[in-house]
Structure 1
Amino acid sequence: MEHLIWNIDPVLVSFGAIKIHWYGVLFASAILSGLQVMKWIYKTENIEQESLDTLLGYVVFGIIIGARLGHCFFYDPSYYFANPMKILAIWEGGLASHGGGLGVILAIGLYVKKHKVSYLWILDRLAIATALFGVFVRCANFINSEILGVTSNLPWAVVFARIDNLPRHPAQLYEAISYLFIFIILLGLYKKFKSHSPKGLLLGTFLILTFTARFLVESVKQKQAAYSSEFMLNTGQMLSIPFFIAGIILVILAYKQLNAPSINTNKK
């Protein structure tokens, strides 16, 4: 059976010793696309956009620091406890989306404490931008031939020639497509409610859909954790469960707001 042979150079362009990688370009595109979504939301709700640059800084640092620490402590803790300076070697690769999610949640907590705005109001709207962010990042993983799927003979299996000659599930693309659909769903929900969206609805929907997709895709991914586990579920699946439960709780509370006799959901 013929399969797609994927062997693209991870370096997009080089100028002498300076190299620009596809991953870096797509990661920057992910940030910029998320920023444009937030600008559109702020414009839609007639909110001044000056604070977005500060918010962007909190989000980017939260993602990078959280994703790095998540990779180190969720997937290979023994190595990084033995080599703590390697935690800083982010250029060697290793970012975990679960850690990135926690990093953003904590970073936004610091932001709202300083700027006196609603925590859930911001997280609801950031959920839309984050879904689009995930599309770009998983495409970057695909180009880099990382976060590989298990072997498969399905017609759409991909041979990552830089790794080996085995056809594999394109797990990165499964996630990217899932996040694109999640982005469309969240955007539809936002357009329906706009500023009157009950707090927690968008974030809860994001958590439910994202970590359901993540849980399912993990079943066709290669093992990423460096340690063995006695559980039937892998590390990525176990980490997805608390986020999923949190999403269920948020959606239930949001629908209680909708059914309340009198509520001002526009209050921030």
Structure 2
Amino acid sequence: MNHLLATINWNPNPELLKVFGISIRYYGLLWAVGIFLAYLVVHYQFRDKKIGEDKFEPLFFYCFFGIVLGARLGHCLFYQPDYYLSHPVEMLLPIKFLPGGGWKFTGYEGLASHGGTIGLIIALWLYVRKTKLNYIDVLDMIAVATPITACFIRLANLMNSEIIGKATDVPWAFVFEREDMIPRHPAQLYEAIAYFCFFLITMYLYKNYSKKVHRGFFFGLCLTLIFTFRFFIEFLKENQVNFEDGMTLNMGQWLSIPFIIIGITSILLGKRLDKMK
């Protein structure tokens, strides 16, 4: 009992308020804040590089839909393919069909960061086809801003009491009351803090060394930092789906490895990426 009193009991109401009967949830709000802050950071870089506003304006929509659609499809196909392949409408619409007929609004229950990354990379490819900007340059600018969005997404997970950590006796353990009364690692908070630190590092490097590093450096650095940390933090997290229990590495770790390889390769390629048009 004394041990439980030394922990942080965590059970916030996921709903912040209601406006005209519409529920405003912390999850959606924190996602929106994270994307908005990234928008400001990328806008700053466009101005710094003297790229016209006409080319910046459509970027938000490409990024938003690329991230959300990619994250949603990533969760459905990576973590619950059996269910969602037989319920394809629920992949794209925030609803759940009820056994007795009818449906209910659920919001998007499940977004995967790996899928969001893939969706964003594809969306940016479509964006540069329209704007004729250099693809690697755009990836670099988005990479500088990505860690701050990742930070707020993990804070959103924390407010939703999801993606919980394994049981622990550390004094800062959280008891996620909606799950059980077991003290656990606040893995979402670990990730949020790490990603915020990565953002500070990346912004410092951009402001002081952006003209000295090669094209693709920030893209590679972002992938390497985030997904290397993601790989190791998974050891402190509960598996998200049952089929991961029999795996040596869980799904998040297996999906992180290709991104780490791409990131390191982008850092090491050096001036070869400078020659890409």
Q: Tell me the TM-score normalized by structure 2.
A: 0.89
Decide whether the 8 Å contact of 1:201 with 1:250 is kept in 2.
yes
- 5+ long unaligned stretches in structure 2: 95-106
Q: 1:230, CA displacement in angstroms?
A: 4.8
- The residue that corresponds to 1:247 in the other structure is 263
Q: 1:195, CA displacement in angstroms?
A: 4.5
- The residue that corresponds to 1:136 in the other structure is 152
Decide whether the 8 Å contact of 1:127 with 1:202 is kept in 2.
yes
- SS of the residue corresponding to residue 109 of structure 1 reads helix
- SS of the residue corresponding to residue 148 of structure 1 reads coil
Partner residue of 1:3 out of 3, 7, 26 = 7
Rounded Cα–Cα distance in structure 1 between residues aligned with 2:211 and 2:240: 40
TM-superposition CA deviations, 1:150-207 (whole Å, max 9, x none): 1111111101112221111111011111111111111122112334541110010111
TM-superposition CA deviations, 1:65-101 (whole Å, max 9, x none): 1000100010111111122222124314100000000
Rounded Cα–Cα distance in structure 2 between residues aligned with 1:228 and 1:184: 33
Distance 1:163 1:230, change over 3 A: closer
Q: 1:117, CA displacement in angstroms?
A: 0.9
Rounded Cα–Cα distance in structure 2 between residues aligned with 1:50 and 1:216: 41
Distance 1:111 1:16, change over 3 A: closer
- The residue that corresponds to 2:201 in the other structure is 185
- The residue that corresponds to 1:232 in the other structure is 248
Partner residue of 1:111 out of 114, 118, 127 = 127
Distance 1:144 1:206, change over 3 A: same
Rounded Cα–Cα distance in structure 1 between residues aligned with 2:142 and 2:20: 38
How is 1:139-150 mapped onto 2 (pairs within 5 angstroms)? 139-150=155-166
How is 1:1-268 mapped onto 2 (pairs within 5 angstroms)? 1=3, 2-15=6-19, 17-90=21-94, 91-228=107-244, 230-254=246-270, 257=271
Say which is worse superposed, 125-134 or 229-238, in terms of deviation: 229-238
TM-superposition CA deviations, 1:93-128 (whole Å, max 9, x none): 100000000000001111111211111100011011
Aligned letter for 1:52? F
Aligned letter for 1:75? Y
Aligned letter for 1:148? I
**Number of residue pairs the alignment of both structures matches:** 261
Decide whether the 8 Å contact of 2:137 with 2:216 is kept in 1.
yes
